[in-house]
């Protein structure tokens, strides 16, 4: 039984100009990949086709490739099949960079014309293995750096605006100011000697008068208190 029996994979096709799009470029690549998959018992679950993209273009400039990588990281498919390495890239430097990137993500790239697992060969080369490990380290550093930048940006937003982006306080969407104004009027209205209407009663009145909450759930004393206090965002009621 083949090692790849039952393995789910994506196919990646690329042509560099319009004549190839309208010609046999895609059909030829598709046929070669299908033949390889059938021989080894693989299942091609989706095709990603790059149209009008030269072989020396970086992977970051390729929409179909980026979509494929995003899908790989989301759904667990870890194998890509191409007709041959020139469909991945013609420029050796670009080809190497793409292979290092894929290998660092634990993705196998199969060349249908030779049947070779190219990324496995990368892992077998001590120098290239070191490059893959360095790529993984730099990816982690980049991720950590992004987390720190986002944390700093949120802190600046809180300092400048009193809050950071996220759930907007009740009152910042259309129609919500009417409900807040009604709350304020009810809260100011005396119900007895030196007494104001309770938050629970205000909630009940809002419900009776048909003022909607943001989530569609009934009003509560806690949500009314939070909104009138202006010290917290709208609570999930």
What is the tens place of the pLDDT at every residue in 16-68? Answer: 876 666 668 899 999 999 999 999 999 999 999 998 888 788 877 888 998 99
How many CB atoms are located within 10 Å of the residue 154 CB? Answer: 14
43 belongs to a structural domain: yes
- Domain assignment present for residue 200? The answer is yes
Cα 219 from Cα 206, distance rounded (Å): 7
Range(s) of the domain holding residue 158: 127-166
Looking at the structure, tell me whether residues 33 and 50 fall in a common domain.
Answer: yes
Nearest of 76, 75, 131, 71 to residue 98 by alpha carbon? 131
Q: Answer yes or no: do 57 and 23 share one domain.
A: yes
- Helix ranges (H only) for the chain are 18-22, 25-40, 63-75, 85-88, 92-104, 118-124, 126-161, 176-188, 199-209, 221-229
3-state helix, strand, coil in the chain (%, to 5): 55, 15, 30
Residues 59, 98 contacting (CB under 8 angstroms): yes
Burial state string for 127-152 with b = 16 or more CB within 10 A and e = fewer than 16: ebeebbeebeeeeeeeeeeeeeeeee
Other beta carbons within 10 angstroms of residue 45's beta carbon come to 13
Q: Are residues 192 and 146 located together in one domain of the fold? A: no
Around Cβ 52, how many Cβ atoms within 10 Å? 12
Q: Is the pLDDT at 170 greater than 70, yes or no?
A: yes
Cα distance between residue 148 and residue 150, in whole Å: 5
Supply the pLDDT for residue 14: 92
Q: Is residue 15 part of a domain?
A: yes
Domain assignment of residue 1, yes or no: no
Measured in degrees and rounded to the nearest 5, phi and psi for residue 231 equal -100, -5
Same domain, yes or no: 117 and 140? no
Query: What is the distance between the alpha carbons of residues 87 and 67, in angstroms, rounded to a whole number?
Result: 17
CB 49 within 8 Å of CB 79: no
Query: Do 115 and 14 belong together in one domain?
Result: yes
Q: Does 181 lie in the same domain as 160?
A: no
Residue 189 lies in a domain: yes
Q: What is the mean pLDDT of residues 207-236?
A: 77
- For residues 23 and 120, membership in a common domain is answered with yes
| 203 or 170, which is more confident | 203
**Tokens standing for 54?**
């030269």
With a cut of 60, say whether residue 140 has pLDDT above it.
Answer: no
Let me know whether 132 and 119 are in one domain. Answer: no
pLDDT digits (tens, 9 = 90+) for 91-110: 777 888 888 888 888 899 99
Rounded to the nearest 5 degrees, what angle is found at the Cα of 235, between the Cα atoms of 233 and 237? 155
Do 86 and 18 fall within a single domain?
A: yes
Same domain, 139 and 190: no
- 116 with 132, same domain: the answer is no
- Please, are residues 5 and 41 in contact by the beta-carbon 8 Å criterion? yes
Is 18 domain-assigned? yes
Asked if residue 154 is part of any domain, the answer here is yes
Mark whether 55 and 156 lie in a shared domain.
Answer: no
**Domains of the chain: total:** 3
pLDDT one-digit tens code per residue, 188-218: 876 666 578 888 999 999 988 888 887 778 8
Say how far apart CA 135 and CA 107 lie, in whole Å. 14
> Would 181 be classed as within a structural domain?
yes
């Amino acid at each position: 039984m083949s090692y790849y029996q039952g393995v789910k994979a994506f196919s990646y096709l690329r042509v560099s100009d319009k004549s190839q799009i309208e010609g046999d470029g895609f059909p030829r690549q598709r046929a070669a990949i299908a033949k390889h998959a059938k021989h080894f018992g693989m299942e091609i679950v989706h095709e990603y086709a790059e149209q009008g993209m030269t072989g020396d273009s970086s992977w970051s400039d390729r929409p179909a490739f980026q979509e494929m990588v995003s899908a790989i990281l989301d759904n667990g498919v870890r194998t890509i099949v191409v007709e041959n390495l020139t469909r991945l890239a013609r420029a050796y430097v670009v080809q190497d960079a793409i292979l290092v990137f894929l290998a660092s993500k634990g993705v196998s790239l199969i060349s249908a014309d030779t049947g070779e697992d190219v990324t496995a060969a990368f892992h077998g080369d001590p120098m290239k293995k070191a490059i893959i490990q360095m790529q993984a380290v730099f990816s982690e550093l980049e991720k950590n750096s992004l987390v720190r930048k986002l944390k700093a940006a949120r802190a600046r937003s809180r300092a400048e605006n009193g809050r950071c982006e996220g759930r907007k306080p009740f009152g910042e969407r259309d129609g919500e100011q009417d409900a807040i104004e009604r709350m304020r009027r009810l809260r100011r209205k005396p119900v007895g000697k030196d007494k104001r209407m309770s938050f629970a009663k205000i909630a009940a009145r809002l419900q009776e008068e048909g003022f909607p909450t943001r989530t569609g759930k009934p009003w509560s004393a806690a949500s009314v208190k939070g909104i009138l206090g202006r010290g917290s965002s709208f609570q999930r009621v």
